[in-house]
Amino acid sequence: MVFIAIAFITGTFMELTIILAIVFIHELGHYSMAQLFKWRIRGIMLWIFGGVMDTDEHGNRPIHEEVLVTIAGPFQHIVIYGIVFFVSSANLLPSSVLELIIYYNTAIFVFNLLPIWPLDGGKILFLCLSSMLPYRKAYHSVIIFSIALSILLLIVQFLFLPFTLSAFLLMIFLCMENRTEWKHRYFVFIRFLLNRYEGKSSIRGVRPIAVPAQSSLMQVFALFKRGKKHPIYITYPNNERRSIDENDCLRSYFHEKQYNKSVGELVEHIT
């Protein structure tokens, strides 16, 4: 409502309408693809500078699903270009309106592809990293990179580009958003582990993990990769080796609340 009031006061209601329509179509792409894969969707929030689709899927879906849901938003901008071309050929709208649509569609399209979390480009970067690295390391890396890139873009804007308030506020927003994500990183990781414990994760391969007996459960969990089942091999000081299933570790942590036990002690307890 605030943005609508400002648009009326400043005479930019047409621009606001175009931006919100583009953002809506963008989020509709995410929503439609997520519905196709039967994701649990909480809702969609639209802002003047973008939108967010809130879901209950937290690293437990196959990577190819998350990639398709993520790129479905940017793909809508290609659709919008096609619609503009058709409308232009049919002379259904004034050229000034079509120029505004092309300008804002391009700006939102390019902005969303920046490799900064939680933009689509940042999500694609995270998916690429999480396909190679453990989930927690990938998540931490993309947040740190996003904060650094946002600050770098702010510096570049101040030193080399004409200052625009909108670009400045967007970069500040992204910095604050990633700062919040960093503060919540532990809860995001616990949510990822909880999905595995409850059997909600998609598993498409096996990758053994080798750890010293004195490793804590959280140190073991930090090696977990999305989409992989982890048999855990434990090495004791006398070079003895034992194995334990990841589900036993997760059960001990979430059900039995054995937060302070090492994985070696856990094996002794189970056997």
217, 267 Cβ separation under 8 angstroms:
no
- Looking at the predicted structure, is the pLDDT value of residue 5 above 60? no
Tokens of 154: 């702010």
Q: 172, 202, 232 — which closes off a domain?
A: 202
Same domain, 4 and 108: yes
Q: Is residue 130 in some structural domain?
A: no
Which residue do the tokens 């790129």 mark? 71
Same domain, 197 and 207: no
Q: Is residue 120 in some structural domain?
A: no
Same domain, 196 and 141: yes
Q: 82, 113, 144 — which closes off a domain?
A: 113
Q: Is residue 126 in some structural domain?
A: no
Same domain, 160 and 193: yes
Please say whether the dihedral angle defined by the alpha carbons of residues 239, 242, 243 and 247, taken in this order, is positive or negative. negative
211, 223 Cβ separation under 8 angstroms:
yes
Could you give the CA distance from residue 58 to residue 165 in angstroms, rounded to a whole number? 34
* Position 3 confidence tier, pLDDT thresholds 50, 70, 90: very low
Same domain, 181 and 214: no
Same domain, 22 and 90: yes
Say how many domains are in the chain. Answer: 3
Q: Is residue 37 in some structural domain?
A: yes
Instruction: Domain of residue 235: give its range.
Output: 203-270
* Position 7 confidence tier, pLDDT thresholds 50, 70, 90: very low
Q: ∠198-204-205 over CA atoms, to 5°?
A: 105
pLDDT tens figures, 78-113 = 999 999 998 888 877 788 888 999 999 999 999 999
Same domain, 179 and 207: no
Per the annotation, the verdict on 246 as an active-site residue is: no
* Position 219 confidence tier, pLDDT thresholds 50, 70, 90: very high
**Catalytic option among 15, 27, 57, 65:** 27
Q: Is residue 160 in some structural domain?
A: yes
Q: Higher confidence at residue 138 or residue 10?
A: 138
Same domain, 189 and 227: no
Q: 53, 78, 113 — which closes off a domain?
A: 113
pLDDT for the residue 13: 58
Same domain, 10 and 95: yes
Tokens of 156: 């570049």
**H or E stretch at 244:** strand 241-245
Same domain, 229 and 171: no
Which residue do the tokens 């939680």 mark? 118
Task: Residue 79: count other Cβ atoms within 10 Å of its Cβ.
Answer: 14
Q: Is residue 125 in some structural domain?
A: no
Could you give the CA distance from residue 107 to residue 167 in angstroms, rounded to a whole number? 11
213, 234 Cβ separation under 8 angstroms:
yes
Task: Report the DSSP beta bridge partners of residue 242.
Answer: 234
pLDDT tens figures, 49-68 = 667 787 877 678 888 899 99
Could you give the CA distance from residue 61 to residue 195 in angstroms, rounded to a whole number? 10
- Looking at the predicted structure, is the pLDDT value of residue 216 above 50? yes
Same domain, 104 and 173: no
Q: Is residue 26 in some structural domain?
A: yes
Could you give the CA distance from residue 149 to residue 85 in angstroms, rounded to a whole number? 35
The SS3 of residue 93 is coil
* Amino acid in position 200: K
Same domain, 195 and 209: no
Q: Is residue 65 in some structural domain?
A: yes
